[in-house]
Amino acid sequence: MVPFDFTYHQPSSIQEAIQLFQTLQQQGKKTMYYAGGTEIITLSRLNLVFTEAVIDIKGIPECRTLRFDKNYLVLGAALSLTTIEEANVFPLLSKAASEVADRTARNQITLGGNICGQIFYREAVLPLLLTDSDVIIAGKDGLKQLPIQQIFQKQMRLHPGEFLVQIMTEQTYLSLPYRSIKKRKQWEVGYPLVTVAALKTNEQIRVAFSGVCPFPFRSQTVEERLNDRQLPLESRINEALHHLPRPILDDIEGSAEYRLFVLKHTLFDIITELEGE
Amino acid sequence: MIGNSVIRKEAWDKVTGAAKYTNDYIKAGTLHAKLVTSRYAHAKIKEIDTRAAQTVPGVRAILTGEGLPLTGEDLRDRPPIAFEKVRYHGEVVAVVVADTLVQAEKAANLVRITYEPLPVVGSPREALKEGAPLIHEQLGSYQKGIGTYPEPNTNIAHRTKIRKGNMEKGWAESDVVVEANISFSPSDHAAMETRCAIAEIRPDGYIMIHASSQSPFMIKKLISSYFGEDVGKVIVHTPLVGGAYGGKTPVQLELLAYLASKAVGGRKVSIWNTREDDIITSPVHIGLEATVKLGCTNDGYLKAAEILYLFDGGAYSDKAIDVSRAGAVDCTGPYHIENVWCDSLCVYTNHPYACPFRGFGHGELSFAIERTMDLLAEKLQMDRLELRMKNAIRPGHTTPTQVLLNNSNVGNLPKCIKRLRELIHWDDWQRIEIDARTVRAKGVSCIWKTSTVDTDASSGAILTFNPDGSINLISGVVEIGTGTKTILAQILAEKMKMDIKDIHVKMEVDTQTTPEHWKTVASRGTFMAGRAVLEAADDAIRQLKEIASIVLRTPIEDLEVGYGKVFLRDDPTIYVDIKDIAYGYKYPNGNAIGGQIIGLGNYILRHLTYLDKETGAGKPGPEWTVGAQAVEIEFDKRDYTYKIIRAVSVIDIGKVLNEKAAIGQVIGAMSMGLSWASRETFLFDRYERVLNPQLRTYRPLRFGEHPEYVVEFVETPQIDAPYGARGAGEHGLIGMPAALANALSIAAEVPLNELPLVPELIWRKKKGEHHGSI
C-alpha cells in the first residue's frame, strides 16, 4: 500500500503538463512525472519514493508516438516495453526491452520510465546509446532535441520540471547487425549480472553495458580496445576490462570478480559473432 | 472411485476466483494493524517513542512488548512482541492499530525506536564457538515441554542424540571412510497467500479468530494456554489456505491479532503480512550446517555413520526444535546402518526464526547424506545406484531410533531404485560430453520420511445426512492446496458405494463445530482423517442398517448399504432408499423412528513414543514412505551455467488414491525442491540483515524455467492406512537438492556441498578460492 496521499493529474498536451508541474511546484508540492508507474508504486510502499503529486504523461499524444518521420524512427516515451517489443521496428531495442522484468511488468513499464527511473539497470537505454539517438525533452522553455550521449551520463540529467517526450533514432541504424545478451544470476528472471548490447557499423563494433557498474554506459576507450584488431580477441577483451568505469558492481546478484568473468565470456561471444557477419 | 483422478471439490471456485481466503473476510468496521519491525538483527531496545505515531488520526492503539508472556511450542523463549532486545532482523517491536491500513502504516512509520546494537551470530557454527554472544541469556529459566533439552549458557535450544549399535565396531568393520561438510542458509516458503489473521473478542468473552493457518486447533489451545483464556471460548475459523508448505504451522500473527483486539476493547483487528514481512518477520525455512562421516566395507556395505546436524533455528526455537528432532529420527537417509551416532542440534542464531518447510527436515538431511553417499561411491569407484541399492532400507532392518521395519511400515525402496534406473537410462550413461563445452550428467538421491507429530495427535470426522440421502463431510483437515478434502470424499464415496457428487465437503474449518485434526502437516491428512472418515462411515452404515432392519423386518446382518439404498444381501430387490431413512423413517400412519443419521469417527496415532534422551530410541511415526529420485542436467563447462533437463521421482505411496492429484503433489514438491536448491536463499550482510526480503530479489522458480517432470509410483500398501495409502505430500521435494547437487558435482568435477547451486558457486568452487571484490 502507498503510505501517503498524492494527487493525480492527466494532462492531454505537453504544454499542459509543463504548466501543471510549475503550478504544483509553486504550491510547494513535490511532483513527479508518471508513465508506467511500476517504480512509483513498488518503491513508495517501501518508503523509497515520496511524492505529493503525479503527472501522468500517457495522455499526451506525442508520448505515445510510434512512427517513422523522414529518416528517423520516433518512439514516444510512454510506449510500453511490450508495445515496442511487438511492433519490432527497432530489433535491438525490442530484444533489450524484452529482457527487462517479466511480461506482466513490461505491459506497464514504459520506454521513458525504464530510462529515467531509479532502478539503475535502465537496459532500454543501451540501444539508444549505441545508435547515437536523439531525445526530445520538454521543459518550461518548450521542446529541445539533444543527443542522448549528452544528456545521459550514468542517468538522465533532466532539470526539475523537464520530461522525456520522444526518442529519435536514425533509420539507417535499425538494420545493422546487433547482439544483446543478458546474463543473470540464474536462468530467465532477475536483474542482470551483465547486459551487453552491441551494434556493428562500418566494421566497428559499438558496445554498451548494464549491470557491470551501478549505471549503464558506453565507453569510447572500451570500444577502442575491443576494436583493436591488431591483437587477438582475448587480449582485446582483457584490455577493455581494464578500462571499464568503476566501481564494478559487487552485490547480491554477483560479486565483482564473477561479473567480470561473465562479462569476458559474453563479450567474447558477441564480438566473435558480430565480426563473423 | 479409488485411484480415479477426481477433480477437486473446490476447483471451480479456485479457477473462477470465487474461492475465499482469510483476508477476504474483512468487513466494514474492521481495524487494521501494521507491524513495526526491527532493522537490527541483535540489539538492545533503548527506547520506543510512540508520541508522534499516536497523533496520526485514526490510531487506536500502539502495542509494545512489556508484560507479555513468553511463547513457543516446545520451549517458551519468544515474546510475541520483542521486549528489551531484538534477536533478528524483521522482529516485531510494536504493533499499530488504526481505523484504516493507511493510517496504521503512517503511524508505524513514525514510531521511533532507539537501539543499541549487539554483536551478531551469523551461523550455527559461529553460535557454538567459545565466547559467542548469547542470544538467550535466560535459556535455563524458560518453560519447556517433555523431550526438550535446552543447554543453558549456550546457544543450543535443543539436542537430540541418536546412539545405535557400537561405533567402535562400526569403524573397525569399515574399510573406506568419507567425511563431508555441507551447509545452506535459511530461506523462505514463498506461499502465494501471505500470512494473515483477524481477531475479535466479543462482549460475551468469545474470541473469534480467522487465520490462514495449518494449525487452527493449535491456535485455540495456545491462546488459551498463553493468556489463560477458556479453551472453549477461542473459536478459530480457517477457510481455504493459499499455500502453506509448513510456513503456516507456527502460531504468530494470531497472537498479535488477539493482543491487538484486546487493546481496542475487543474490536475486530486484521493483521495481514506484506510480502516483506512474510519473508522475514514470519518464520522461515530452516538452514543447516552438517558434518557427515560414513564408513563402509570394500564391497560397499555401510557399517558406521557419525552425523552432526546443526540446524539454524534462528532467534527463537519454536517449531525448529521439532524439525531438528525429525532430522535425527531419519538422520541416515533410507539406508541400513547398524552403528549410528548422531547429534542433531537446534541452534540459536540472529537469523529470522525457523519453522517447518515441506519435508520437515528431510530435504535438509538428505542433502547432507546423499552428497556424502556420492562421495563414498566415488571413493569406492562403485556405481552410485548400486551403492544405494546395496544399503537400501528393507523390512527386518531398524531405523536410527531402533524401530523394527516390516512389510507394512516401510515401502519398497529397492523396487523404487530399480524402476528409477530404467526410467533414467542409468546404464546407458551417467556423464556424457556433448561437445567441447557441453556435458550432460545425471544425479540421484534416495528418500525416506516418517512423521514426527505429537504421540497423541488425533483426527475426527463427522458425517451428517441430508434429506436426499447426500452426506456432508466435516473434517478438521485444512485445505491448504493438497486436495486432501477431495480424497476424503473419494474414500467416503468408495466406502458408501455412492456418487461423489452427493458428498458435500465442508471446506472451512471452524474449531467450534469441526472435529479436531491435530494439524494439517506431515503428509498425515489422508492417513489420519481418512481413518476417521472410514470409522464415521462405519458408524453411519451401522445406523442405517439398524433402521432399515426395522423397516424391512430383517436381521441387521442380512443388510448391505450402497447405491443410495439399504438392501438385502441375497435379494437386492428388497430395499429401502437411504433418503427415506436418513432423517428417520416415517410410517404411513405418521409414526416415526430414527432421526437424522450422524456418523462419527476419530483416529489417534497408535504406539508412538517419546525418544529416549540418551539414545533416541523410540517410535516417532507410523510408517516410512520411500522413493528414489534423479535429476539430469546440461552443464556449460566454460560459463558454469546449466539447465535442468529432466527430474524424475519414483515413490512408493502405498496406494494411488487419486492419480492426477498424487502426480500433482509430487511434481509441485519437486519444483519447490529444485527452486530451493537452484536459487532460493536469504542473503545476509555482515550485520545479519536480510538483503533480499522481496520477490524482486528473492526469486523462486517461475513458469518457463521448469524441466520435464517424470513421476511414477510403486504400491506397497501400508496395511493400517485407508486403502493402503502412504503419505505423499512432501516426499517429491526431499531428494531434489541432493540429486541436483550430485548431477552438477559430476558434471563440473568439483564437490558442490552448498546451496543454492547458482553458477557463481560453481565458478568459485572451480577456482578454489573465496570471492573478493575489485
Please write the tens of the pLDDT for every residue from A140-159.
Answer: 999 999 999 999 999 999 99
- Are A125 and A23 in the same domain? yes
Picking from B189, B207, B192, the residue whose alpha carbon sits closest to that of residue B250 is: B189
Q: Is the bond preceding residue A3 a cis peptide, omega within 30 degrees?
A: no
Torsion angle defined by CA atoms of residues A116, A121, A122 and A127, in that order, rounded to the nearest 10 degrees: 150
| Other CB atoms within 10 A of residue A247 CB | 12
Q: Identify the DSSP state of A100.
A: S
User: Which residues from chain A sit within 8 angstroms of residue B772, using beta carbons?
Assistant: 255, 257
Helices (H), B597-695: 659-679
Of all residues in chain A, the percent with pLDDT exceeding 70 is 100
| Rounded-to-integer distance, Cα B765 and Cα B752, Å | 7
Pairing of strands B339-348, B302-314: parallel
- Amino acid identity of B301? Y
What's the distance, CA B643 to chain centroid?
A: 28
* Chain B residues 388-407 within an 8 A CB cutoff of chain A: none
Reported as a single tens digit per residue, the pLDDT across A158-202 is: 999 999 999 999 999 999 999 999 999 999 999 999 999 999 999
What's the distance, CA B357 to chain centroid?
A: 5
| Rounded-to-integer distance, Cα A69 and Cα B662, Å | 59
Residue spans per domain, chain B: 11-118+195-272, 284-453+609-767, 458-604
- Cell readout for B687 is 550485520
Radius of gyration for chain B, computed over Cα atoms and rounded to the nearest angstrom: 27
Q: At B686, give phi and psi (nearest 5°).
A: -75, -10
Domain count, chain A: 2
| Other CB atoms within 10 A of residue B7 CB | 14
User: Which residues from chain B sit within 8 angstroms of residue A257, using beta carbons?
Assistant: 771-774
Contact B603, B458 (CB under 8 A): yes
Q: What is the mean pLDDT of residues A90-108?
A: 97
Q: Which of A175, A190, A208 is the last residue of a domain?
A: A175
Which letter, b or e, does each residue of A26-49 get, where b requires 16 or more Cβ atoms within 10 Å of its Cβ?
eeeeebbbbbbbbbbebbbbeeeb
| Other CB atoms within 10 A of residue B732 CB | 30
| Rounded-to-integer distance, Cα B186 and Cα B567, Å | 59
Q: What is the mean pLDDT of residues B393-411?
A: 98
CATH topology identical between B284-453+609-767 and B458-604:
yes
Give the structural domain span for A265: 176-275
- Are A183 and A171 in the same domain? no
Those residues with Cβ within 8 angstroms of residue A220's Cβ, 6 or more apart along the chain or in another chain: none
Asked if the C-beta of B695 comes within 8 angstroms of chain A's C-beta atoms, the answer is: no
- Amino acid identity of B371? R
Picking from B677, B701, B736, the residue whose alpha carbon sits closest to that of residue B366 is: B736
| Rounded-to-integer distance, Cα B328 and Cα B314, Å | 18
How high is the pLDDT of residue A2?
87
Residue A268 has pLDDT above 70, yes or no: yes
What's the distance, CA A128 to chain centroid?
A: 7
Q: Is the bond preceding residue B756 a cis peptide, omega within 30 degrees?
A: yes
Q: What is the mean pLDDT of residues A87-115?
A: 97
| Rounded-to-integer distance, Cα B363 and Cα B286, Å | 11
Reported as a single tens digit per residue, the pLDDT across B318-363 is: 999 999 999 999 999 999 999 999 999 999 999 999 999 999 999 9
Give kind and range of the element (H or E) at residue A53: strand A53-56
Reported as a single tens digit per residue, the pLDDT across A44-65 is: 999 899 999 999 999 999 999 9
| Rounded-to-integer distance, Cα B539 and Cα A68, Å | 79
Contact B597, B399 (CB under 8 A): no
- Are A150 and A183 in the same domain? no
How high is the pLDDT of residue B95?
98
Radius of gyration for chain A, computed over Cα atoms and rounded to the nearest angstrom: 19
Pairing of strands B471-475, B458-465: antiparallel
Mutation target to probe the A interface, by most A beta carbons within 10 A, among B96, B681, B760 is B760
Reported as a single tens digit per residue, the pLDDT across B23-75 is: 999 889 999 999 999 999 999 999 999 999 999 999 999 999 999 999 999 99
The dihedral through the CA atoms of B279, B284, B290, B292 has a sign that is negative
- Are A159 and A256 in the same domain? no
| Rounded-to-integer distance, Cα A205 and Cα B684, Å | 40
How high is the pLDDT of residue B769?
55
- Amino acid identity of B369? I
| Rounded-to-integer distance, Cα B2 and Cα A196, Å | 56
* Chain A residues 102-121 within an 8 A CB cutoff of chain B: 102
- Give B284-453+609-767's CATH code, choosing from 3.30.365.10, 3.90.850.10, 3.30.830.10, 3.40.109.10: 3.30.365.10
Of all residues in chain B, the percent with pLDDT exceeding 70 is 99
Q: Do A257 and B771 touch (CB under 8 A)?
A: yes
Picking from B243, B247, B200, the residue whose alpha carbon sits closest to that of residue B223 is: B200
- Amino acid identity of B680? E
Q: What is the CATH number of the domain that holds A104?
A: 3.30.465.10
How high is the pLDDT of residue A205?
98
- Are A145 and A9 in the same domain? yes
| Rounded-to-integer distance, Cα B533 and Cα B539, Å | 10
How deeply is A205 buried, as exposed, middle or buried, from its count of CB atoms within 10 A (0-12, 13-18, 19+)? buried
* Chain B residues 705-724 within an 8 A CB cutoff of chain A: 705
Q: What is the CATH number of the domain that holds A242?
A: 3.30.390.50
Asked if the C-beta of A241 comes within 8 angstroms of chain B's C-beta atoms, the answer is: no
Contact B588, B558 (CB under 8 A): no
Strands (E), B169-268: 176-184, 196-201, 207-211, 234-238
Pairing of strands A155-156, A152-153: antiparallel
Q: Do B679 and A186 touch (CB under 8 A)?
A: yes
Q: What is the mean pLDDT of residues B160-170?
A: 98
- Are A168 and A189 in the same domain? no
Residue B388 has pLDDT above 60, yes or no: yes
- Cell readout for A28 is 510547494
Q: At B578, give phi and psi (nearest 5°).
A: -60, -35
Q: What is the mean pLDDT of residues B90-110?
A: 96
Helices (H), chain A: 14-26, 38-44, 81-87, 91-98, 103-106, 111-116, 125-130, 148-151, 220-226, 233-242, 256-275
- Are A216 and A253 in the same domain? yes
- Are A165 and A198 in the same domain? no
Of all residues in chain B, the percent with pLDDT exceeding 90 is 98
| Other CB atoms within 10 A of residue B565 CB | 23
Contact B568, B552 (CB under 8 A): yes
Can you give the length of chain B in residues?
A: 774
C-alpha triplet B147, B245, B71: angle, nearest 5°? 40
Confidence tier at B768 by pLDDT (50, 70, 90): confident
Averaged confidence pLDDT in chain B: 97
Question: Starting from the edge strand earliest in sequence, which strands make up the sheet with B708-714, in order?
Answer: B431-433, B438-449, B625-636, B642-652, B708-714
Q: At B10, give phi and psi (nearest 5°).
A: -100, 10
| Rounded-to-integer distance, Cα B426 and Cα A204, Å | 50
Asked if the C-beta of A269 comes within 8 angstroms of chain B's C-beta atoms, the answer is: no
Domain B11-118+195-272 in this protein, CATH class: alpha beta
Chain A residue with the nearest C-alpha to that of B640: A262
Give how far A266 is from chain B: nearest CA, Å: 9
| Rounded-to-integer distance, Cα B469 and Cα A55, Å | 63
- Are A142 and A47 in the same domain? yes
How high is the pLDDT of residue A277?
83
Cell 492527466, residue?
A10
Fold classification of B458-604 is: Aldehyde Oxidoreductase; domain 4 (3.30.365)
Reported as a single tens digit per residue, the pLDDT across B199-242 is: 999 999 999 999 999 999 999 999 999 999 999 999 999 999 99
Confidence tier at B774 by pLDDT (50, 70, 90): very low
Chain A residue with the nearest C-alpha to that of B698: A190
User: Which residues from chain B sit within 8 angstroms of residue A6, using beta carbons?
Assistant: none
How high is the pLDDT of residue B772?
40
Asked if the C-beta of B697 comes within 8 angstroms of chain A's C-beta atoms, the answer is: yes
Residue A107 has pLDDT above 50, yes or no: yes
- Cell readout for B644 is 535442468
Q: What is the mean pLDDT of residues B587-599?
A: 96
Asked if the C-beta of B100 comes within 8 angstroms of chain A's C-beta atoms, the answer is: no
How deeply is B415 buried, as exposed, middle or buried, from its count of CB atoms within 10 A (0-12, 13-18, 19+)? middle
C-alpha triplet A12, A17, A21: angle, nearest 5°? 155
How high is the pLDDT of residue B20?
95
Q: Do B771 and A265 touch (CB under 8 A)?
A: no
B338 by DSSP, 3-state: which?
coil
- Are A40 and A89 in the same domain? yes
User: Which residues from chain B sit within 8 angstroms of residue A253, using beta carbons?
Assistant: 697
Stronger pLDDT, B559 or B770, i.e. the higher one? B559
Nearest to B773 among A3, A250, A265 (CB): A250
Those residues with Cβ within 8 angstroms of residue A142's Cβ, 6 or more apart along the chain or in another chain: none
C-alpha triplet A146, A150, A151: angle, nearest 5°? 80
Picking from B115, B99, B7, the residue whose alpha carbon sits closest to that of residue B60 is: B99
- Are A181 and A135 in the same domain? no
How deeply is B766 buried, as exposed, middle or buried, from its count of CB atoms within 10 A (0-12, 13-18, 19+)? middle
Chain B residue with the nearest C-alpha to that of A46: B276
Q: Do B109 and A3 touch (CB under 8 A)?
A: yes
Which letter, b or e, does each residue of B495-513 get, where b requires 16 or more Cβ atoms within 10 Å of its Cβ?
bbebebebbebbbbbbbee
Nearest to B758 among A185, A250, A261 (CB): A185
- Amino acid identity of A191? Y
Q: Do B639 and A260 touch (CB under 8 A)?
A: no
Helices (H), B56-166: 101-110, 124-128
